Amino acid sequence: MKLSPFTEEHEMFRKEVRAFAERELAPRVDQWEEDKLFPNSVFKQAGELGIFGAHYPEDVGGAGGDFWMSIVKSEELPRCNAAGVTMGLLVQSDMATPVIGDIGTKEQKAEFLTPAIEGDKIAALGVSEPGAGSDVAGLRTTARLVGDEYVINGSKTYITNGTRCDFVTLMVKTDPEAGHNGISIILFPTDVKGFGVSKKLEKAGNWSSDTAELFFEDCRVPKRYLLGQEGMGFMYLMQNFQSERLVGCASAIAGSQLALDRSVEWGRERTAFGKPLIKREYWQQKFVELYTKLEAARALTYKACAHYNEEKFVQKGMLSMETTKLVSMAKAFTGDVTSEVMDQCVQFHGGMGYLEELWVARAWRDARLFRIGGGTTEVMRYATAKIMGL
């Protein structure tokens, strides 16, 4: 009986990503955290190693793998010890570009997707706005068709890779009166006149990842940059969100596992009241509980991944409500579990855990974002309740 979803090919890829994270990224992340940015060259390195394209078809520059390739990558990149770097790379491969692979024209894939896979162009996903976050239907950035061009006006915020992206997979209102049926997606090159970065946002965590507020003032892009059909953007995005949430779950679980493992090792050496801290019954009970919850989060995430992989990569169809429900459950549950794990790891380290010089402080503040980004925990539970008819 085969319990693991991973094949020999997946495990070979795992070794490659792990080596990249541990040898190329980890030794440098302290400086990148201090700089509040990791270098653009990291995107090119990842592209050359095939990390971005493992799950994309060969005809667009990928390796032709399945969705489990994305999960492998998401589980190994956290070994770089900076969630900001992991997030910036995952936005490139699994958040801003999957929708291009799904519905883009041959020309759009050649201009945007393939360069992103190769690491030659940096991608961002433009959804959130100052007045619309998880409520995507409330966005106000507009794209008005004038002749053969869309004229875009508005703003976006909380945009990962926003200060340096070469293009944005941009959610806009093409019919402001039609609610979520008036939303479309436009591939937006950032060298267009009228585009700019309002400011780089300072965050509580994920320092090495740049997050920006963007503005669009009478920006003109060709009609051919419309992705899919006009008015279908909300549906496309809801499908796209599922992969984003799953890779986020896999990454958060892997990061939490690393934190637990490292804490246990530290607890073997740290003595309190005459014995190693890990030998205290309270902490033995607590760590067993936390490891158990992580295993449950992983099992739920893998079940959602199996559904996603079957529908997207095997059947090559639309996602079912059952898959969307499982993804939403996994996102909410994983968020709660990983937050608890990181908080307890800080507590276990005592005063040392609250010092920036120790890894656990960074892991703790970085992990907090997961319950917000990609759909808040509250929205995930609301979506689940709606699907269940509650």
CATH code for position 209: 2.40.110.10
- Give Cβ neighbours of residue 3 (< 8 Å, ≥ 6 apart): none
Query: For residue 291, is pLDDT > 80?
Result: yes
Write down the mean pLDDT value for the chain: 96
Residue at 184 is within a domain: yes
Sign of torsion over alpha carbons 217, 126, 110, 226: negative
Spatial separation of the C-alpha atoms in residues 69 and 75, rounded to whole Å: 10
Residue at 191 is within a domain: yes
Q: What is the CATH number of the domain that holds 26?
A: 1.10.540.10
Query: For residue 143, is pLDDT > 70?
Result: yes
- Give Cβ neighbours of residue 19 (< 8 Å, ≥ 6 apart): none
- Give Cβ neighbours of residue 170 (< 8 Å, ≥ 6 apart): 126, 141, 152, 156, 185, 186, 187, 188
Kindly state the average pLDDT of the residues 58-69: 97
Boundaries of domain holding 106 = 8-122
Query: For residue 133, is pLDDT > 70?
Result: no
Among 122, 144, 163, give the residue marking a domain's end. Answer: 122
Kindly state the average pLDDT of the residues 30-37: 97
Among 200, 227, 254, give the residue marking a domain's end. Answer: 227
Which residues on adjacent β-strands are paired with residue 155? Answer: 215
Q: Which 3 state secondary structure label does DSSP give 242?
A: helix
Let me know whether 376 and 237 are in one domain.
yes
The helix (H) or strand (E) run that includes residue 308 is helix 281-309
Kindly state the average pLDDT of the residues 139-155: 96
Let me know whether 289 and 383 are in one domain.
yes
Among 227, 248, 281, give the residue marking a domain's end. Answer: 227
The pLDDT, as a whole number, for residue 134 is 65
Spatial separation of the C-alpha atoms in residues 50 and 353, rounded to whole Å: 36
Residue at 3 is within a domain: no
pLDDT band at residue 146, thresholds of 50, 70 and 90? very high
Let me know whether 368 and 243 are in one domain.
yes
Let me know whether 256 and 355 are in one domain.
yes
Let me know whether 178 and 246 are in one domain.
no
Residue at 179 is within a domain: yes
Catalogue the active-site residues.
244
Structure tokens that stand for 207 in this block: 């320092």
